[in-house]
Amino acid sequence: MDNDNNSMPKSNTLADLKYRTGTQGWNQFLQGKSDMLARFDSAKNKAKSHEVETYHGKVAEAELRNWLITFLPKRYGVTSGFIISPNEDRGKKFPHFDVIIYDQLESPILWIDENPDTTKQGTSAAIPVEHVRAVLEVKSRWTAKAAKDAVRHLHDLDDLLKSIDDPKERYKKHLPPSFFCGVVFFEVCTKDEFKPSLLGELVDANLRGYLGGIVLRGENLLPELAGNIELFVGDQPQVTDIGKNKVSLIRQNVLPFSSSIEISENRHIGAMVSWTGAAFSKWAFDILALLNGTYRQGFLSSKYGMTWRTSHKPKDEIISE
């Protein structure tokens, strides 16, 4: 978890949602995101008095886990902890992951590490590799360093991703073929909006199941807006225009994209971010569809929590209808 404690103007009130339109229950669904951010802001204020200012980061992890527990079907358990494979040497150190989503109807809990300073949801559980469905890395603020650290930590999964077990294999050693992973940032500040490295550090072609991520809010943007960070593949190289002609990561009604990297002949991969009022809902239902095996690229995973019209302008520029 990163330990940045920069302040950000509070923008987590949803009072002005009446001026935008969405499907039934859209604003109620977004309230979950608003509540997470409110508790995160409270933790940031408390962290100022801590000798080591990591408290708000731990709260961000716990808040996301708690929200996922309420949202996902009961089949799926959510914990922080470790992924255990019988193929790993017993002397190897277990990497710890912020959010592990697993099949709790099938999976045993191999052991639990309890920390007396954390809540029940702060305990760390050891989950057998074949029952793990997803891993999410959580960062409090989207910076280039946080992005780089997040992707690098996800690469601690490499040994568990390097192969796919035969379906008839009795003793599974690797993560399932449907496994996916990504990054969640709670916020991004305007002082970082012209830095192309924020997206550039999230481009990775060597991590099986890597989807990109989401940022829950941008400084001074409307409270319902979130940013979907998605990978794209094309047959031509792309050079980012972030920072040029005032192209911004969080303020333009465009799709800012990173420079691409070549992954094979005539195949290039990059990342882009899109800010919409449906981004959080889309991300949540995409995760659910991926877990359920119903995800189809290019199609909405659900129409729940969707909105069809929203402004990309800063909140103070909105004119009430």
Model pLDDT for residues 11-65, shown as the tens digit of each residue:
444 444 444 556 777 788 889 999 999 999 998 888 776 655 566 788 999 999 9
pLDDT digits (tens, 9 = 90+) for 241-272: 999 988 999 976 778 999 999 999 999 999 99
Pairing relation of β-strands 226-234 and 132-141? unpaired
- Cβ neighbours around 166 below 10 Å, total: 8
What's the mean per-residue pLDDT of the chain? 86
Q: Which two tokens stand for residue 226?
A: 């979130």
Least confident of 58-72, 108-122, 160-174, 291-305: 108-122
What is the pLDDT averaged over residues 98-105?
97
- Cβ neighbours around 283 below 10 Å, total: 24
What whole-number distance in Å separates Cα of residue 39 and Cα of residue 79? 19
> Which of the 8 DSSP states describes residue 218?
B
Give the gyration radius of the chain's Cα atoms.
20
Give the model's confidence band at 321: pLDDT under 50 very low, under 70 low, under 90 confident, else very high: very low
Q: Which two tokens stand for residue 297?
A: 């690229």
CA 176: distance to chain centroid? 20
Give the model's confidence band at 208: pLDDT under 50 very low, under 70 low, under 90 confident, else very high: very high
> Where in the chain are the domains?
27-161+173-295
pLDDT digits (tens, 9 = 90+) for 65-93: 999 999 999 999 999 999 999 976 666 77
- Cβ neighbours around 188 below 10 Å, total: 25
What is the pLDDT averaged over residues 171-184?
96
Helices (H), the chain: 26-47, 55-71, 144-154, 158-161, 197-200, 279-292
What whole-number distance in Å separates Cα of residue 103 and Cα of residue 100? 10
